[in-house]
Amino acid sequence: MEKLIEQLKAQIIEALNFEDMTPADIDTDAPLFGEGLGLDSIDALELIMLMDREYGIKLSDPKAGKAVFQSVRTMAEYIQANRTK
Amino acid sequence: MRQLGSVHTDLPVGEVPFTDTELKRMAGVADSEPMPRTSLLGIIAAREALLQAGLNEEMVNEKMVNGLAFISGTTVGGMDLTEQHWHDYADGKATENIRLHEAGESTNAIVRHLGISNQQSAVSFIATPSTACSSALNAIMLGANMLRTGKTKAALVGGAESLSMFHLNGFNTLMILDHVPCRPFDAERHGLNLGEGAGYLFIEPEEQAIARGATILGYIGGYANTCDAYHQTASSDNGEGALLAMSGALRMAGLQPADIDYVNAHGTATPNNDLSESAALRRLFGDNLPAVSSTKAFTGHTTSASGGLEAAICVLAMQHGLVPANLNWSSTAEGLITPVTHTQHKPLRHILCNAFGFGGNESSLVISSTGTDLSEAPMIQLPNEQINVQMVNDEMVNSFVSSAESRRMTPQMRRVVAAARRAMEESGVAIPDAIVCATQWGCMLQSMRFLQDMIDSGEQQLKPTPFMQSTHNTIASLIAILTGNHGYNATYSQGKQSLDCALVDIRTQMSIGLIHTAMVIEFDEQVDAWDAVLQQIGDRTEDIARVHIYTNNRKI
């Protein structure tokens, strides 16, 4: 799990162009949207695409992403349970 | 989907049911002449409009002494040809035809086929507003402003847009395409269906129309263009920009909300648009909502052409005394207005027509059955001041744009945003009344990224960000979003004449007193992938980020 979390943080930084950040800068349990990283609706779509591309998980409804994208940890747990690659 | 060669055949689209070859025959274009589908649709609609206005070639050539202005909004331009021939270009087989990619060139192609032999002198002004889905309404506004200031005596205004794989895939990455026919304002709505088409109005001063015995179909009552200044692809929850556009159009028309008999809503059927537009409608009309419908369930969302098509639908509605139904509606939900679900028959004196675009480019137009004298405003003399800023130093860029703000921007976007901020600082004009961008190729780096990814991947797993930033209006709206500017916001893509178009726009508005200060931005990007194509015809792209502040000496 820890390995997946680290890998995911790096993928998030790359997908969302956080050029000045390192995985250590992202708190595993902090909210991704709103306060935390301050992500928006386009970032949510980029995260949906990331899950499809890297883990073979398809989320067809952006609203369904809300629960999954609460934090890096919730995302990692969802990936662990649903990944197809 | 029968014409568009996309793999996403599960997505319903509102296609014009003719092949390009069939359209060429209808438009009188030779089979051998390369022509964007956007231009073909535009030629057919524009010729119909001239014919219906009772104008023959002689009239255009001789009686309109100042010439005809042709103002046609588009964003797709010749993208369809580029995506079909991309592999040829990569093989070194590019010809001059690649210039048709440019939005402005696709408009020029329409003018060449308007059926006016002497078009060089007869058509005195050509402009291509490119503010995504509000482009055509902005074309109508520029034409009206030119008539009011005597810059032209007749204008053919509207927009044209074909479907393309590029924007079908782009909207698909945004997850706002419905897999069944769209359901505007319905609780279960799940997105839009893309459509294609062209729609134009022929507008001229009333006395000229009467003098030549023309049948007057309607009057432009008022109009406004504002910026939601909220997000590149999302509308604000309270519909601020939409409210400002609608109330601004009413103010110019000298009307109260109660005077509006029908609203042709933008109503795309995305969850976000319909909720935001409903909020704006409620704020404007309170409990006395007039008849409202979105006609996009009939046409699909024809994006840059939608304002032209829907303005024409409004004129028809007025002529026939009927409110078109909002199809596919069955239930409401909290926050949504309830549209008219069956055709209503009643006289319509004043209609409000909305078109909203990416970047929060919001436009509203009032069409009236009786005349409104818009030319009463005193003309203001224009010995205007100008401040110019050219940003080249990347170190300075960082002092004007934070890394959090710029994470999605291309390097050239960062430079132009920095130049804009510096220009505001140096001029003391913190919130210009208008932000107008002039660009030949638009946001070409993100466009090329998305296009290449789309072709290389076979239209799979595309990233939304490059599409979101691919539209020509990205720069002007981005600056408005970053500086909280709800004022007039427009973008022109007319080749090397783009800046001239922007200046005609702000000068006519300043003469009428609609604006007192304006920021004019020149933007283009050097892009290797496109240069590889352009070099085959001896051309190239270049980095341009120049910002000018104009004032009419009255406000500062």
Provide block-wise average pLDDT over 10 residues at a time, chain B (556 residues).
96 98 97 97 96 77 69 98 96 94 98 80 91 98 95 94 98 97 98 98 93 93 97 96 98 96 98 98 98 98 98 98 98 98 98 97 97 61 68 82 91 95 91 98 98 97 97 98 98 98 95 93 97 96 94 61
For B28, B220, B451, the CA distances from B532, given in Å and listed in that order, are 33, 46, 14
Q: Which of B407, B454, B481 is the best residue to mutate to test the A interface, defined by the most A CB atoms within 10 Å of its own CB?
A: B407
C-beta neighbour count of B408 within 10 angstroms: 18
Domain C-terminal end among B330, B355, B376: B376
Instruction: Please indicate, yes or no, if residue B9 is contained in any of the structural domains.
Output: no
Any A CB within 8 A of B234 CB: yes
Instruction: Among B376, B402, B432, give the residue marking a domain's end.
Output: B376
Shortest CA distance to B549 belongs to which of B413, B361, B384, B382?
A: B384
pLDDT at position B531 is: 97
Does B445 lie in the same domain as B337?
Answer: no
Catalytically active residues of B, by annotation: 133, 266, 301
CB atoms within 10 A of CB A50: 21
Confirm whether B462 is domain-assigned. Answer: yes
Please state the ipTM of this predicted complex: 0.93
Is there a domain that residue B535 lies in? yes
CA distance B42 to B143: 17
Q: Quick one: pLDDT at residue B185?
A: 98
**Four-point Cα dihedral B253, B142, B215, B325, nearest 10:** -70
Residues in chain A: 85
Helix (H) or strand (E) holding A22: none
Specify the pLDDT at position B468: 97
- A51: domain CATH number? 1.10.1200.10
Residues of chain A contacting B463 with CB distance shorter than 8 Å: 15, 46, 49
Residue B124 lies in a domain: yes
pLDDT of residue B132: 98
Chain B residues with CB inside 8 Å of A57's CB?
none
Asked, for residue B431, whether it belongs to a domain, the answer is yes
Clarify whether residues B180 and B217 are in a common domain.
yes
Q: Which of B376, B405, B432 is the last residue of a domain?
A: B376
Nearest residue of A to residue B232, measured between CA atoms:
A42
Residue B364 counted as domain residue:
yes
Q: How many C-beta neighbours within 10 Å does residue B501 have? A: 24
Within a domain: B8: no
In a domain, B447, yes or no: yes
Look at B464 and A19 and tell me if their CB atoms are within 8 Å.
Answer: no
Which of B174, B461, B468 has its CB closest to that of A53?
B461
Do the Cβ atoms of B277 and B266 come closer than 8 Å? yes
CATH number at residue B464: 3.40.47.10
Q: How many Å lie between the alpha carbon of B408 and the closest alpha carbon of chain A? A: 6
Looking at the structure of chain B, the number of domains it has is 2
Instruction: Please report the pLDDT score of residue B556 as a whole number.
Output: 39
Distance from CA of B273 to the nearest CA of A (A): 14
Same domain, B348 and B405: no
Structural domain of A33: 2-82
Q: What domain range is B318 assigned to? A: 20-376
| Overall domain count for chain A | 1
Interface mutation vs chain A, best among B8, B173, B175, B456, most A CBs within 10 Å: B175
Within 8 A by CB and 6+ apart from B429, the residues are B423, B517, B519, B549, B551, B556
8 Å CB contact between B429 and B549: yes
Express each pLDDT in A47-85 by its tens digit.
999 999 999 999 987 777 888 999 999 999 999 999 998
DSSP B337: P
Q: How many CA atoms lie within 13 A of B335 on its CB side?
A: 13
